Chain A
Amino acid sequence: MALQAILLAGLTAVLSGGYPAFAAAPDAAARAPVSYDDDIKPVLELHCLKCHGPEKQKGGLRLDHKAGAFKGGDSGERGIVPGHSSQSRLFQMVSSKKDDERMPPKGEPFNEKQLDLLRRWIDTGAEWSESGTNAAKLGRSEMKVSETDRQHWSFLSLRQVVPPSVKDKAWVRTPVDQFIRHAQEAKAILPSAPADARTRVRRIYFDLIGLPPTPEEMARWGARVGKSSDAVRELVDELLASPHYGERWARHWLDVARYADSNGMESDNDRPNAYRYRDFVIRALNEDLPYHTFIRWQLAGDEIEPDKPEAIAATGFLAAGVNAGLPDKLMEEEKLRNRANELDDMVSTTGQAMLGLTLACARCHDHKYDPLPTRDYYRMMRVFNSGDRAEVPLASLSEVKARATAMAAWKKESDAAVKERDEWLKEARKPVADTLRAERIAKLQITDNEKRLLLEKRDDSAAKKLADRFKKELKIEDSEYVAALADGEQARWKELDGRVKELARRKPGELPTAFAFADFAPEPRESWLFERGNFMARKEKMDLGFLTVLTTGKTADDYWKAARDTKLRDDSTQQRRALADWMTDTDHGAGALLARVMVNRVWQHHFGEGLVRTASDFGTRGEPPTHPELLEWLTGELIRSGWSVKRLHRLIVNSAAYQQASAFDEKKSARDPENRLLWRRRPLRLESETLRDSMLAVADTLNSAVFGPGFKPPIPAEALQARNVKDPYPGDAKDTLETRRRTIYMFHKRVVQYPLMQAFDAPDAQQSCGRRMNTTVAPQALSLLNDPFVRLRAEELAGRLQAGAGPGADAQIQLAFQLCLGRAPAPDELTDARVFISAQIAARAQPAANQPTAAAQRLALIDFCQSLFGLNEFIYID
């Protein structure tokens, strides 16, 4: 393969757009001798070294040292032939007139002046002095974010977009459809017909609240939805207003927030107050908290709204990652390593969850593909380095202060009372102390001489040693002294001791806390750039900073100063508030990208695929959006609506695109196999949580209690495999009312994953997860066949059928289909089910099985119910 082909294939475009060429005016200065260091090296660095330098040697070519540059790349042609620019492959490539050959392949070409310098330098002997070039100097020069870097589509500021006009106006239900249909019309592909009413109702229920519609709900909505689009709008509004909406959609955000209820790593300590963050997310969604506020609170709620408990709990986002929780006594190196990893978790999760950027890549070196210098990474790390996870009081500043004051006052009073009592006793007991001691000594099993020693020479070292030996026996409690006192003195004791006890009862109560984040102090901690990510190699102190490529017209210091000037609390650095302001700033900061990433996440959960299919990578290596204009328009709508996520749902779910049938079409599929034009809606599989919740719901045993500490469901011993866990998972947990709550309230212990969830691709909460796997594996089938949870729900469903439909098999089957699938069984299905049930009854009633008829009937019905849970139609929603 030719060199240029290799290069072209491998190169990543970082530069784009044409630049005007410098006027090539051959004046006297231009005839001056050309210097490698001054003239050539900077040009090579600018154009070539990204791909042909120390980090990468595309096509085997390396241009940052003499031997490599002269030798050339894999083609074997010499890169530089001193005296002959026309024979030098390097010059041929950069000066080529052919667009498909010229280097660099996509970026800014060499301008005339640069070409002239290079030509003259080679023609005059290509003097390349390596004096002063050492290994360190050979190292790649630090990445500079250029104007061209800022031109990547996702980094641009928000564009105004008008929905395009379409020929097929009748199809359009919301402006979303104009974009979708416009793209389809351009490719002459037709959308699918609307799905039938039952399918749409079911789809919208699962999508918005994560629960199946009851037969009554299905009857109510099914009758109307097919007839008017108003009915769909009403349904969507009703479900968005349901408290179950937040429970469903919070899960999506908790995935990206890598939320769990324990530390992870070896000890995996529980975090009993982590749930406050989970509850914050549910509430925020249910109340349609503006998305930018949702984000701001998660970064700096304690600084932005110090009097709002929910804003304080929101910083649980930063705290939610893995933390080894090492004891203080351990070696410094290990603690530093752990801290560096924790800070990395905070920086990279923030970048990934909020901005769809793979910031973690910049921990050891400048990002290889995106304009994210290591410097940006460490400047951002500084924000979090000034604080840590903590149990933070959930109360207003004044309450916290009031409690601190009350506590201090109480302590003063209490300490004084204790002191008064103890000092009084110290005096009062003197007359009885010797007597009591003598009685004790008398009882000791020692010689008389030793006893005398203890009694008469108690300051003697031998006596002290002896007394120490019998410390326990010689110890006299306060109560014993008191008992020996005179009556009047006893009364005084009662009075003094009573006051102490009374004060203990008046101790100010503890404030509730959240597992969240707090700064250490008002002054920021020193923070460093670690050479190649090595936390032992502190290279340079870092100032506060954010991502250069997303900052225009303002500096991090501007944000920080503004935050400090209007600060609402004195005990923190306001750096996180500055970060939050930058993050949500659509004019000078990251706001536009923040909104795009969220719009895409919402879209992804509605359709199974995002408009940008790499939901957590909006960088140059991510996929570009399938509908860039639509993404831009929705982003604008999100911001213009005051960052209302519910409004975004309405625009999407009410669209014709969303409500299409899911039918497969071979011809369309041949033309658009990945359904990028959205010519149909793809069936989506329920996630593990929705699957579990649905079984509980149809079994009618779902406990819909909301909020509060997580529940611990039974986990079989086979899955409790981690050793040395500090708060071990209970081995005897039972299936109870509490464990039949929605799965979002389940306690997520990091090293002990709940098997049903693990089998069905729930994320392991070690890192941010923007998109779940969707695997089809035998352990999933094994859990549906054999997991006690599934069997129990089948039993309950069977009971519900017997109670609700009476003893007749047909009526039971009818009801079961309505509950589980939202429809009546087809005649064939009814027959199959009937045959199955009677065969199971017969098998179970056989003499060998020795079951009475009623039991056999019940077991057969349970077998049937369990089979329904295994149906594709139960788990795949059209």
Chain B
Amino acid sequence: MNPAHQHCGRYESFTSRRDFLKKAGAGFGMLALADLMGKNNQLAAAATEASNPMAPRAAHFSPKAKSVIWLFMEGAPSAVDMFDPKPELTKRDGQRIDIDVFNGNPGPLMKSPFSFAQYGESGAWVCEHYPNVAQHVDDFAFVKSFYSESNDHVPALYQINTGIPRPGFPSAGSWVTYGLGSGNNNLPGYVVLGNNQGVKGGNLNWSSGFLPTTHQGTLFRAGATPVINLTRPRDVSRANQRAQLDLMARLNQRHLDARPGEAELLGRIQSFELAYRMQAEATDLVDFSKESAATREMYGIDKDETRSYGSKCLMARRLVERGVRFVQVYSDGEWDAHSDLNGNHKGHCRATDKPIHALLTDLKRAGLINETLVIWGGEFGRMPVSQGNGGRDHNPNGFGMFMTGAGIKPGTSYGELDEIGYRAAVDRVSVHDLHATMLHLLGIDHKQLTYFHNGRRYRLTDVAGEVLQKILV
């Protein structure tokens, strides 16, 4: 049996170290353990393996993408107002239909307040407020026929992140680092660049669920100290801390010498060294001063309206450049236009258009686009009928996303909503399909990436999921 097909089972195949591996299970960082130990190489190898779950692992098959950047439009953008204009909706503007909506009291059908134009050779439609993103449509695959289950934000967020519309399950990013490790030992494998107002449903959106906690997403905040506990106590200099680590290492080493065979103890010694290095690496990561003025201008960091998302997009590039496997870039606030969709979406377009354009341009320039899958989308869509004063209520029955980058067939469109943009009608695509496709591009067979928990083997895609072959090269 091919061990690469046994990610969970890989623990089982190391019989002699199984007990230890099951217990230790997680940790960061590849350390020169053999040097540190010098005398017990097998133990060192075991400790390294267990304390370094981010070590890159072979995929099931040759991957197209090494990293994922997920441009997460929290609050749910409207399909018919962004990339999927519906003439029939315009025609029937003001007409009442029989429809049930989340907040009750549905209004009549409402045409988009935006004008649309076709771009590129693919002739993809893009709304007037995304002119920069529109320049890239020939690289995109639009998937226009998504559907999910819940009408409520948080279950929908949990579903798009974990496949299940309930809290407590591992997110896609966690499954990916669990399956593949990461390309950088000194940084977390899964980084979340959060909504500056917080994300609904909190950190369960990037939870590792029942997978080892190492695989949970690490939230980076804007600013000099992106990660919790990265700043030393006020009274402690770097040299002071180094001395503390040295003292601990000496005492721990003696303790370990009296307990040969306890790889877990060794793994823990390494985790302190890694923590120390992480502080330096993270400091370097957040230092944008080496980026050129032109780059910063391109990302819109110099302008109030684009500074936040632009900084996050630039950070995303810096992360994948350093080998980080999975990055989610949440938009700020919410695309949740219960009223005044015009103003809401216009504002979000303004905040994200230029930064996304910059990121795509920059990834291309650096050659990273060929090994990075970029996804744009929210947790569900919006209703074709109006709500309140020019708004739209939640709609899990039909919504769109786009993907670009590694392995994606450029200039394609897949699936259709019905003529008013309410329901996915043709080639319906589930959240499991999205996840299956994402894993496929990373070289993972979604049916083979499993974890045994509470009596059964779990997958990111539960018992479903089809790879969207038609949007792949």
Query: Taking CB as reference atom, which chain B residue is nearest A670?
Result: B16
Q: Are A876 and B19 in contact (CB under 8 A)?
A: no
Across-interface contacts of B103 in A (CB, < 8 A): 329-331
Q: Are B150 and A785 in contact (CB under 8 A)?
A: no
- The answer to whether A445 has its CB under 8 Å from any CB of chain B is no
Interface residues of A in 845-875 (CB under 8 A from B): 849, 859, 862-864, 866-867, 870-873, 875
Across-interface contacts of A870 in B (CB, < 8 A): 244, 248, 272
Q: Which of B104, B241, B250 has the most CB of A within 10 A?
A: B250
- With A785-B241, A863-B240 in contact, do A265 and B248 touch (Cβ < 8 Å)? no
- The answer to whether B229 has its CB under 8 Å from any CB of chain A is yes
Across-interface contacts of B212 in A (CB, < 8 A): 773, 775
Interface window among A41-49, A98-106, A118-126, A753-761: A753-761
- With A331-B100, A859-B235 in contact, do A776 and B271 touch (Cβ < 8 Å)? yes
Q: Are B235 and A862 in contact (CB under 8 A)?
A: yes
- List 11 other contacts, CB 8 Å, given A266-B152, A616-B454, A872-B255: A324-B155, A721-B202, A766-B168, A773-B26, A776-B51, A776-B268, A781-B274, A782-B230, A829-B251, A832-B251, A833-B247
Across-interface contacts of A720 in B (CB, < 8 A): 198
Q: Are A751 and B202 in contact (CB under 8 A)?
A: yes
* Size bin of chain B's contact surface: 35 or more
Closest chain-B Cβ to A875's Cβ sits at a distance in Å of 8
Across-interface contacts of A826 in B (CB, < 8 A): 254
Q: Are A782 and B203 in contact (CB under 8 A)?
A: no
Query: Taking CB as reference atom, which chain A residue is nearest B220?
Result: A718
Q: Which 7 A-B pairs have the closest CB atoms?
A: A766-B168, A722-B202, A664-B261, A751-B202, A775-B26, A723-B198, A781-B275
Could you give, for residues 246-277 of chain A, a 1 whenever the CB lies within 8 Å of some chain B CB and a 0 otherwise? 00000000000000000011101000000000
Q: Are B195 and A669 in contact (CB under 8 A)?
A: no
Q: Are B201 and A669 in contact (CB under 8 A)?
A: no
Q: Are A752 and B247 in contact (CB under 8 A)?
A: no
The CA-CA distance from A764 to B247 in the complex, in Å, is 34
The CA-CA distance from A463 to B213 in the complex, in Å, is 71
Across-interface contacts of B275 in A (CB, < 8 A): 778-779, 781-782, 785
- The answer to whether B280 has its CB under 8 Å from any CB of chain A is no
- The answer to whether A322 has its CB under 8 Å from any CB of chain B is yes
- The answer to whether B267 has its CB under 8 Å from any CB of chain A is yes
Interface residues of B in 147-165 (CB under 8 A from A): 149-155
Closest chain-A Cβ to B324's Cβ sits at a distance in Å of 15
Interface residues of A in 660-683 (CB under 8 A from B): 662-666, 669-670, 673-675, 683
Across-interface contacts of B243 in A (CB, < 8 A): 836, 839-840, 843, 863
Across-interface contacts of A829 in B (CB, < 8 A): 251, 254
Q: Are B229 and A264 in contact (CB under 8 A)?
A: no
- With A619-B455, A723-B195, A859-B235 in contact, do A872 and B268 touch (Cβ < 8 Å)? yes
Query: Taking CB as reference atom, which chain B residue is nearest A669?
Result: B261
Closest chain-B Cβ to A700's Cβ sits at a distance in Å of 20
- With A786-B233, A872-B252 in contact, do A718 and B168 touch (Cβ < 8 Å)? no
Q: Are A776 and B26 in contact (CB under 8 A)?
A: yes
Q: Are A358 and B455 in contact (CB under 8 A)?
A: yes
Across-interface contacts of A753 in B (CB, < 8 A): 203
Across-interface contacts of A864 in B (CB, < 8 A): 247
Interface residue from B199, B230, B262 paired with A664 (Cβ < 8 Å):
B262
- The answer to whether B278 has its CB under 8 Å from any CB of chain A is yes
Q: Are B25 and A840 in contact (CB under 8 A)?
A: no
- With A341-B166, A773-B25 in contact, do A331 and B259 touch (Cβ < 8 Å)? no
Q: What would be 29 A-B contacts, judged by CB atoms less than 8 Å apart?
A: A324-B152, A329-B104, A330-B102, A331-B104, A673-B17, A719-B203, A721-B198, A721-B202, A722-B202, A723-B198, A725-B202, A764-B167, A773-B213, A775-B26, A775-B27, A775-B213, A777-B214, A780-B271, A781-B275, A782-B228, A786-B230, A826-B254, A829-B254, A836-B243, A859-B235, A867-B244, A871-B248, A872-B268, A873-B255
- The answer to whether A512 has its CB under 8 Å from any CB of chain B is no
Across-interface contacts of A621 in B (CB, < 8 A): 455-456
- The answer to whether B232 has its CB under 8 Å from any CB of chain A is yes
Closest chain-B Cβ to A324's Cβ sits at a distance in Å of 7
Across-interface contacts of A844 in B (CB, < 8 A): 240
The CA-CA distance from A788 to B229 in the complex, in Å, is 9
- The answer to whether A147 has its CB under 8 Å from any CB of chain B is no
The CA-CA distance from A326 to B202 in the complex, in Å, is 17
- The answer to whether B256 has its CB under 8 Å from any CB of chain A is yes
Q: Which of A332, A759, A764 has the most CB of B within 10 A?
A: A764
Q: Which of B221, B244, B279 has the most CB of A within 10 A?
A: B244
Across-interface contacts of A265 in B (CB, < 8 A): 154-155, 167, 201
- The answer to whether A716 has its CB under 8 Å from any CB of chain B is yes
Interface residues of B in 211-266 (CB under 8 A from A): 212-214, 218-219, 221, 225, 227-233, 235-237, 239-241, 243-244, 246-248, 250-252, 254-256, 259-262, 264-265
B contact set with A: CB distance below 8 Å: 15-19, 23-29, 50-51, 100-104, 149-155, 166-168, 194-195, 197-204, 207, 212-214, 218-219, 221, 225, 227-233, 235-237, 239-241, 243-244, 246-248, 250-252, 254-256, 259-262, 264-265, 267-269, 271-272, 274-276, 278-279, 454-456
Q: Are B240 and A871 in contact (CB under 8 A)?
A: no
Closest chain-B Cβ to A174's Cβ sits at a distance in Å of 26
Query: Taking CB as reference atom, which chain B residue is nearest A766?
Result: B168
Across-interface contacts of B104 in A (CB, < 8 A): 329-331
- The answer to whether A507 has its CB under 8 Å from any CB of chain B is no
The CA-CA distance from A370 to B454 in the complex, in Å, is 13
- The answer to whether A160 has its CB under 8 Å from any CB of chain B is no
The CA-CA distance from A326 to B102 in the complex, in Å, is 11
- The answer to whether A427 has its CB under 8 Å from any CB of chain B is no
Closest chain-A Cβ to B258's Cβ sits at a distance in Å of 9
- The answer to whether A566 has its CB under 8 Å from any CB of chain B is no
Interface residues of A in 400-426 (CB under 8 A from B): none
Across-interface contacts of B101 in A (CB, < 8 A): 331
Across-interface contacts of B241 in A (CB, < 8 A): 785
Q: Are B227 and A718 in contact (CB under 8 A)?
A: yes
The CA-CA distance from A385 to B115 in the complex, in Å, is 50
Q: Are A326 and B250 in contact (CB under 8 A)?
A: no
The CA-CA distance from A333 to B101 in the complex, in Å, is 10
Q: Are B151 and A333 in contact (CB under 8 A)?
A: yes
Closest chain-A Cβ to B130's Cβ sits at a distance in Å of 25
- With A330-B102, A664-B262, A833-B247 in contact, do A718 and B219 touch (Cβ < 8 Å)? yes
Q: Are A863 and B454 in contact (CB under 8 A)?
A: no
Query: Taking CB as reference atom, which chain B residue is nearest A790?
Result: B233
Across-interface contacts of A197 in B (CB, < 8 A): none
Q: Are B102 and A334 in contact (CB under 8 A)?
A: yes
Interface residues of A in 780-797 (CB under 8 A from B): 780-788, 791
Q: Are A337 and B150 in contact (CB under 8 A)?
A: yes
Q: Are A663 and B259 in contact (CB under 8 A)?
A: yes
- The answer to whether A242 has its CB under 8 Å from any CB of chain B is no
Q: Which of B18, B219, B455 has the most CB of A within 10 A?
A: B455
Q: Are B27 and A673 in contact (CB under 8 A)?
A: no
Q: Are B24 and A867 in contact (CB under 8 A)?
A: no
Q: Are B227 and A666 in contact (CB under 8 A)?
A: no
- The answer to whether A724 has its CB under 8 Å from any CB of chain B is yes
Interface residues of A in 711-769 (CB under 8 A from B): 716, 718-725, 750-753, 755, 758-759, 761, 764, 766-767
Q: Are A778 and B25 in contact (CB under 8 A)?
A: no
Interface residue from A722, A778, A875 paired with B203 (Cβ < 8 Å):
A722
- The answer to whether A568 has its CB under 8 Å from any CB of chain B is no
Closest chain-B Cβ to A511's Cβ sits at a distance in Å of 33
Closest chain-A Cβ to B329's Cβ sits at a distance in Å of 15
- The answer to whether A433 has its CB under 8 Å from any CB of chain B is no
Query: Taking CB as reference atom, which chain B residue is nearest A357?
Result: B455
Query: Taking CB as reference atom, which chain B residue is nearest A717?
Result: B221
The CA-CA distance from A760 to B199 in the complex, in Å, is 23
Query: Taking CB as reference atom, which chain A residue is nearest B201?
Result: A266
Q: Are A358 and B278 in contact (CB under 8 A)?
A: no
The CA-CA distance from A670 to B244 in the complex, in Å, is 36
Query: Taking CB as reference atom, which chain B residue is nearest A878?
Result: B259
The CA-CA distance from A244 to B50 in the complex, in Å, is 34
- With A775-B25, A777-B26 in contact, do A787 and B229 touch (Cβ < 8 Å)? yes
